[in-house]
Amino acid sequence: MSAQNGYEQFINDDEGYLRWLGEHPHGLVVNSHRAPTSSYLILHRASCEHINIPERTNWTTTGYIKTCSTDLAALAEWGGRATGGALIPCGACKPPMTPGLEPPSRHPAVAVTPASAPIGAPKPPIVPPPPEGRRSLPPEISTGCPELDRAWASYATMILDRSQILISDTDDDLTWHAFLAHSLDMQGFRAAEFAGIDPLTRVAPEFVPLKARGIGVPELASLWDVPDIRQHLLSGVGGLPLEATLGVLRDHGGAVGSSLAEAFDHFPWRKFHWSARALLQNSSALKPFDHSFRRWLAHECDDLGVSQFPPGDFRRGVTQAGAVLPLERALRMRLERTFYMVGPAMSAYMLCDWQLWLWREGRTAVFANFKLDSFHEAFVKKFGRGVIPADEAGFARWWLGLFPELPPRLANECIWLAVEGKQVNPW
């Protein structure tokens, strides 16, 4: 449910919708598709039996959403802004219609399409001005991909208020969330759960995450300084059980090594020699920066000739190895060069949710980074209909061509949430 501009919109919230009907018996309801269209904006009285039967479910959880208000003008304004169309009164409950809001005739006038806009091109979203500089999002979009439009309607607004996704510009958040939780989040190793940034999603009563154990970057870096541990992890552990690495941590790492080994022992998701090595080796790389990932980022930006930090524009050009690249691309290359097991997907992931927080706060311009994972690739392959590019750069260009003020990371995260929440099945 969202409340704004004089109306409340219910998506995947039957309980809230029915409660609103009970509290506003004389209110009005617009029934629409999840991706609203001008041809289906049906206005009902709150008491109408077509949209108010408490015994029934799935009012807002399948193909439809409900936009509710006691103010007819607010609903009309929403319908016009969302679709360019007018409200259509229910023939059964006959809701009030003020002059100017009569239902369209059977033969509506043909709209004139500007020559510069191709027929069928999606309308750019209207983003209301944010309070105090904070950006907000349109509740609906039209991309030509109904599955993506529905995912946006379900999740986009929530993303900007979800601390589990956005990473604020602090040493602590960037080091724990972007560095420890994101840089290793691959191949079934749920790094955010191991670090203690996200709650554990499997039953494991004996597991205690790193943060609760008091094991952060300084402690992990200290283990890399132990010759026996470092030599073991660098010598090649292929074919050995993980217990061999945990034994070395217990034997040579003191209390910290034993605690880390215990965390790996009880972690209920997949775990590997490389995940232990990456935690230690990458933490050691932050030693010159007081074990702060934020300070590492600031140093790299300064080295690339960008003195403003955080950067106000991640797409500005910088020179690296004789080539001019967007700053965000140059930072990703440096992440991949500096940190073990960080490749193209992880380097984007280590930046994009910090960038999204900065963008939400109005502190940086729109950016192109997003995490190209298996969920995203499968979704585009099944629902892209040959129009949505499957590659990272192509998807970013396609999205920014439609919505130049909205980061593609928003669409990317909506896709992930829709797949993870089984709203769509791309397999």
Same domain for 175 and 278?
A: yes
Q: Which of 60-64, 127-131, 211-215 has the lowest mean pLDDT?
A: 127-131
| Domain contains 301 | no
**pLDDT computed for residue 86 by the predictor:** 85
Token reading at 289: 């920066």
Do 152 and 175 belong together in one domain?
A: no
Q: Which of 54, 99, 44 is nearest to 75 (CA)?
A: 44
Distance (Å, whole) CA 171 – CA 350: 14
Predicted pLDDT at 129: 41
Sign of CA dihedral 381, 386, 343, 406: negative
- pLDDT for position 286: 97
User: Which one-letter DSSP state was computed for residue 111?
Assistant: P
Window from 69-83, 165-179, 243-257, 335-349 with minimum mean pLDDT = 69-83
CB 284 within 8 Å of CB 297:
no
Per the domain annotation, does 98 fall within a domain?
yes
User: Would 254 be classed as within a structural domain?
Assistant: yes
Read off the pLDDT of each residue in 293-314 and give the average, rounded to a whole number. 96
Asked if residue 370 and residue 331 are part of one domain, the reply reads yes
Map tokens 């005739």 to a residue: 105
Asked if the model's pLDDT at residue 131 lies above 80, the reply is: no
pLDDT recorded at residue 179: 97
User: Domain check: are 316 and 273 in the same one?
Assistant: no
* Closest by CA position to 309, among listed 130, 416, 401, 171: 171
> Does residue 420 lie within any of the structural domains?
yes
Report the share of the chain in percent with pLDDT over 70: 89
- pLDDT at position 118 is 37
Q: Which residue bears the tokens 């992930």?
A: 416
Same domain, 163 and 229: no
* pLDDT for position 113: 30
How far is Cα 95 from Cα 89, in angstroms, rounded to an integer? 6
Answer whether residue 282 is part of any domain.
Answer: yes
Residues 39 and 97 in one domain: yes
Same domain, yes or no: 265 and 353 = no
Can you tell me the distance from the alpha carbon of 287 to that of 173, in angstroms, rounded to the nearest whole number?
17
Q: Which domain holds residue 51?
A: 1-104
Neighbours of 213 (CB within 10 A): 15
pLDDT 10s digits, 26-47: 999 998 887 787 777 889 999 9
Per-residue pLDDT, averaged over 350-355, amounts to: 98
Rounded CA separation 154/417 (Å): 9
In this prediction, residues 2-19 reach a mean pLDDT of 82
Within a domain: residue 120?
Answer: no
Instruction: Please enumerate in sequence order all residues whose Cβ is within 8 A of that of 327, keeping only pairs 6 or more positions apart, or say none.
Output: 301, 304, 306, 311, 313, 314, 315, 316, 317, 318
Residues 315 and 418 in one domain: yes
Q: Determine how β-strand 64-69 pairs with β-strand 41-45.
A: unpaired
Chain segment 364-383, per-residue pLDDT in tens? 999 999 999 999 999 999 99
pLDDT of res. 3: 53
Distance CA 86, CA 76 (A): 7
pLDDT of res. 8: 92
Separation between Cα atoms, residue 207 and residue 126, nearest integer Å: 47
Which pLDDT belongs to residue 102? 38
d(CA 226, CA 180): 20
Provide mean pLDDT across the span 188-214. Answer: 93
Instruction: Judge if 159 and 182 occupy the same domain.
Output: no
Domain end: 55, 87, 104, which one?
Answer: 104
User: What's the domain count of the chain?
Assistant: 3
How far, in Å, CA of 317 to CA of 334, rounded? 15
pLDDT at 293: 97
What is the pLDDT averaged over residues 130-159? 87
pLDDT band at 4 (very low <50, low <70, confident <90, very high): low
Query: pLDDT digits over 209-265, tens only?
Result: 999 999 999 999 999 999 999 999 998 787 899 999 999 999 999 999 999 999 999
Between residues 199 and 366, the one the model is more confident about? 366
pLDDT of residue 54: 66
Tell me, yes or no, whether 6 lies in a domain: yes
Residue 182 neighbours by CB under 8 Å, 6+ apart: 191, 192, 346, 349, 350, 353
> What pLDDT is stored for residue 361 in this prediction?
94
pLDDT 10s digits, 85-118: 888 888 778 888 863 333 333 233 333 233 333 3
Q: How many CA atoms lie within 13 A of 401 on its CB side?
A: 13
Number of H helices, E strands in the chain: 17, 8
Mark whether 20 and 81 lie in a shared domain.
yes
Q: Which of 82, 104, 126 is the C-terminal boundary of a domain?
A: 104
pLDDT of 1: 47
Comparing 10 with 99, the larger pLDDT belongs to: 10
Q: Are residues 211 and 235 in the same domain?
A: yes
State the Cα–Cα distance between residues 332 and 371, nearest whole angstrom. 12
pLDDT of res. 264: 97
Determine the pLDDT at residue 90. 84
Q: By percentage, how much of the chain surpasses pLDDT 90?
A: 68
**Are 337 and 243 contained in the same domain?**
no
269 phi, psi to nearest 5 deg: -105, 180
Of 55-64, 123-132, 383-392, the least confident = 123-132
> Is residue 146 included in any domain, yes or no?
yes
Rounded to 10 degrees, the C-alpha dihedral 152/155/159/160 comes to: 70
Two tokens at 256?
């910290």
Nearest to 277 by CA among 250, 320, 242: 242
SS3 14: helix
Q: Which of 122, 139, 130, 123 is nearest to 67 (CA)?
A: 139
